[in-house]
A and B are shown apart, each in its own frame.
Chain A
Amino acid sequence: MSDREPILKARNLVKRYGRVTAIDHADFDLYPGEILAVIGDNGAGKSSLIKAVSGAVVPDSGEIWLEGKKVTFYNPIEAREAGIETVYQTLAMSPALSIADNMFMGREIRREGFLGKYLRMLDKKKMEDFARQKLSDLGLMTIQNINQAVETLSGGQRQGVAVARAAAFGSKVIILDEPTAALGVKESRRVLELIMDVKSRGIPIILISHNMPHVFEVADRIHVHRLGKRLTVVDPKKCTMSDAVAYMTGAKDPDPSQQAA
């Protein structure tokens, strides 16, 4: 893969909070069409790294390129406008609002003509149709009620809607933060299938997870983060789960033969 140009690339990122260095000259590469898992012990700084590329944290120094162009994000909205969608662990959905409302929160579509322009009327039908389309694209829709409140959905369904929202708008990169952490075995399974489904559409995914079986099942490459920087990137086909955990915790030094190409 090294002959290809990364779609998202970061070099020498640094972020300090007082005397704590959360990101210590970290590098990061995501290639087109792949699922890159990011693993690391608690406190290794993987969420700071992800926040830096998703715009939630502004790094003190270092550079980020999206499709070869240098970018600087000051907030998640800017990253989102550039095509990087993040599914937060909390999902960032309003429970009392409908599926359609949530999918279009912050990017609503207005009606054409006078109603939309002067009365600012939303085009609910268009948004509902779009939401329904996107959910059924991902096999998430078996009933019609797109106006159901999100709080009436199960954890897996909510995750599904959040992923569908990201897939619908994330034109370039989707970041999934612990998508299976709060789910049962069966629902996790469905979400993993959903991730593969999104991948098959050609959208690259960054998957942050603590769940090694899930990581090894879906990832093409595994970025091991340790002490604020990238320790190594391993190929899940050449490396065992226990080795990965050993690298992550510092019990073992990386073996070059297991590195991802």
Chain B
Amino acid sequence: MSDADNYEASTRGGKSDAQAEFEYEEKGLLGRIHSILHHSPALVPLIVLVLAVIVFGLLNANFWRVATLSLIFQQIGIVGILGIAQSLVILTAGIDLSVGAMAVLSSVIMGQFTFRYGIPPSAAIVIGLAAGTAMGALNGVLVAKLRIPPFITTLGTWQIFLAANYIYSANETIRSQELDAEAPVLKFWGSTFEVFDARVTYGVVLLLVLVAIMAYILRHTAWGRHVYAVGDDEEAAQLSGVNRSRQLIQVYALAGFFCAIAGWVMIGRFGSVSPSASTGQLGNIQAITAVVIGGISLFGGRGTIVGMFLGALIVGAFEMGLRLAGADAQWTYLLIGVLIIAAVAVDQWIRKASA
């Protein structure tokens, strides 16, 4: 025994040998930027957004008008709410391809329950919200209990919900006049009020409120911290006392609930209940785009709802800015494609523990 542990004696004692100190190390400029971004990844989309607003404003002064900015907010209303749902799921290191389909099916349920079965619209809304939550919970059970990868689960349920939506509605659209006459509450989020000679929809206010609520929950409640923990290291979270399955099912169910809210907002925004709304096909891609540009890591555990909101605003600002500048619409898609790749590249860099 005597010889065997002597090799360690050389390291014993001495001032420098205090236990596992937390040292402060000198960092270069890049290192400092890295550690700031590492701590608040939402700064990247914020910087991009500010630059975009400045550049588009210089290209066309109309961009800076309150009316234009309010229009941008209106256009991201639905994507923003779907983005909240998508953010929750992606923070747990999952993905939800069915968000758009859940939104459309929920909106169709709200409309059809009112018009086909004569249920009071407010009750139909509650049923629609419950249906969205149930659809999300189904995703959650498949992911958490049967351990089917989220991508596959939601690729399947996306098709299932979308097909169910066409079958159930018989591809029938409920028109604006019918809604106005019998169920104006379904269109509530599309109604407007005046702020500084600009019209703002209640849907925009709802988006802001939902972003604030979810930002609070993720940051300041145990449930929110557990979302990050499950996404960061599932095994570790489980050993630390987080119930992984329950947490995942709750996250997917809540995502479904938010999609149903988005479905309600869609009715107001489009003025009709349409099973063939483009959201069913494109909603998931648009939401993932907002999430990724907003700096939420697809590997889970990193990013914020506020970042996603900024990501959605960036997409909205690019669409509007390029249109005002008279560019071909394809430029918008091209630039958003570039932004997505750049955002993930930046995320890879930020995720490294030290530069």
Interface residues of A (CB under 8 A from B): 76-77, 80, 86, 88, 90-97, 101-102, 105-108, 110, 119-122, 124, 138-143, 145, 148-149, 151-154, 156-157, 159-160, 185-191, 193-194, 212-214, 216-217, 240-241
- Residues in B neighbouring A120, C-beta threshold 8 A: 220-223
Contact present for B228 and A96 (CB under 8 Å): yes
Please determine whether A92 and B19 come into contact, CB atoms closer than 8 angstroms. Answer: no
Q: Is the CB–CB distance between B240 and A105 below 8 Å?
A: yes
Q: Is the CB of B222 within 8 A of A159?
A: no
Q: Which residue in chain B gives the minimum CB-CB distance to A109?
A: B222
CB contact list, B1-56 vs A, under 8 A: 1, 4-5, 7-8, 11-12, 17-24, 38-39
Indicate the size class of the contact surface on chain B: 35 or more
- Alpha-carbon distance A30/B220, docked complex (angstroms): 40
Inter-chain contact B22/A153, CB cutoff 8 Å: yes
In angstroms, Cα B22 to Cα A107, docked, is 25
- Counting chain B CB atoms within 10 Å of each CB, which of A94, A149, A159 scores highest? A94
Point out the residues of chain B lying under 8 angstroms from A97, CB to CB. 225, 228-229, 232, 301
Q: Chain B residues with Cβ under 8 A from A102's Cβ?
A: 240
Residues B22 and A92 in contact, CB atoms below 8 Å apart: no
A25 to B233 Cα, complex, angstroms: 35
A94 and B11 in contact, given A159-B20, A217-B5 (Cβ under 8 angstroms): no
Contact of A143 among B5, B24, B235, B239 (CB under 8 A): B24
Q: Which residues of B contact A186 (CB under 8 A)?
A: 11, 17
Q: How far is the CB of B304 from chain A (nearest CB, A)?
A: 12
In the complex, which residues of chain A have a beta carbon less than 8 angstroms from the beta carbon of B17?
A: 186, 189-190
Given contacts A92-B240, A151-B353, A190-B17, contact A241 B1 (CB under 8 A): yes
Please tell me which one of the listed residues B4, B235, B237 contacts residue A212 in the complex, with CB atoms under 8 A apart.
B4
B302 at the binding interface (Cβ < 8 Å): yes
Residues of A with C-beta under 8 A to B277: none
Q: Are B5 and A216 in contact (CB under 8 A)?
A: yes
> Interface code B209-225, partner A: CB below 8 Å = 1, 0 otherwise?
00000001000111101
Q: Contact between A92 and B24 (Cβ–Cβ < 8 Å)? A: no
How many angstroms between the C-alpha atoms of A108 and B221 in the bound complex? 9
Residue of B8, B235, B239, B353 contacting most chain A CB atoms (<10 Å):
B239
| Chain B residues in 8 Å Cβ range of A105 | 225-226, 229, 237, 240-242
Q: How far is the CA of A139 from the CA of B20 in the complex (A)?
A: 8
List residues of chain A with CB within 8 A of the CB of B237: 94, 105
Contact status A92-B239, CB under 8 Å? yes
Contact of B5 with A94 in the complex, beta carbons under 8 Å:
no
Q: Which of B11, B228, B236 contacts A92 (CB 8 A)?
A: B236
Across the interface, which residues of B come within 8 angstroms of A121, CB to CB? 220-221
Q: Distance in Å from the Cβ of A22 to the closest Cβ of chain B?
A: 20
A185 contacts B11, CB within 8 Å?
yes
Does any Cβ of A come within 8 Å of B354's Cβ? yes
